[in-house]
Amino acid sequence: MELSLAHPALKAFMCGSLSGTCSTLLFQPLDLVKTRLQTLQSSMQPGSGRVGMMSVLLSVVRKDNLLGLWKGVSPSFVRTIPGVGIYFSTYYSLKQHLSQDGSPGALQAVLLGGGARTVAGVVMLPVTVVKTRFECGRYSYASVIGALRSVCQTEGPAALFSGLMATLLRDVPFSGIYVMFYSQTKASLPKDIKESPSAPLANFGCGLLAGVLASLITQPADVVKTHVQVNQKMRTMEAIKYIFTEHGVQGFFRGAVPRSLRRTMMAAMAWTVYEQMMAHIGLKS
Q: What angle do CA 264, 269, 271 make, to 5 degrees?
A: 100
The confidence score (pLDDT) of residue 123 equals 93
Helices 164-187 and 106-136, interaxial angle, to 10°? 130
Rounded distance between C-alpha atoms, residue 27 and residue 191, angstroms: 32
Rounded distance between C-alpha atoms, residue 285 and residue 272, angstroms: 10
- The separation between CA 97 and the C-alpha centre of its own chain, rounded to angstroms, equals 25
The confidence score (pLDDT) of residue 231 equals 79
CATH for 2-280 (1.10.760.10, 2.40.440.10, 3.10.129.10, 1.50.40.10): 1.50.40.10
The confidence score (pLDDT) of residue 90 equals 93
The confidence score (pLDDT) of residue 102 equals 65
The confidence score (pLDDT) of residue 41 equals 56
Rounded distance between C-alpha atoms, residue 192 and residue 254, angstroms: 41
Q: What is the dihedral of CA 165, 166, 168, 171, to 10 degrees?
A: 180
Rounded distance between C-alpha atoms, residue 35 and residue 145, angstroms: 21
**Cα dist. 191→132, 188, 194, 203 in Å?**
42, 9, 5, 13
pTM beyond cutoff 0.85: no
Rounded distance between C-alpha atoms, residue 135 and residue 18, angstroms: 23
What is the pLDDT tens value at each position of the chain, 285 positions in all?
343 445 788 888 888 888 888 888 888 888 888 878 877 755 555 455 566 778 888 888 888 888 888 887 887 788 888 888 999 999 999 988 877 666 778 899 999 999 999 999 999 999 888 888 877 777 778 788 888 998 899 989 998 998 888 888 888 999 999 999 999 999 888 988 888 888 889 999 999 999 998 998 888 988 888 888 777 678 889 989 998 998 889 888 888 887 888 788 888 888 988 888 888 887 777
Rounded distance between C-alpha atoms, residue 131 and residue 129, angstroms: 5
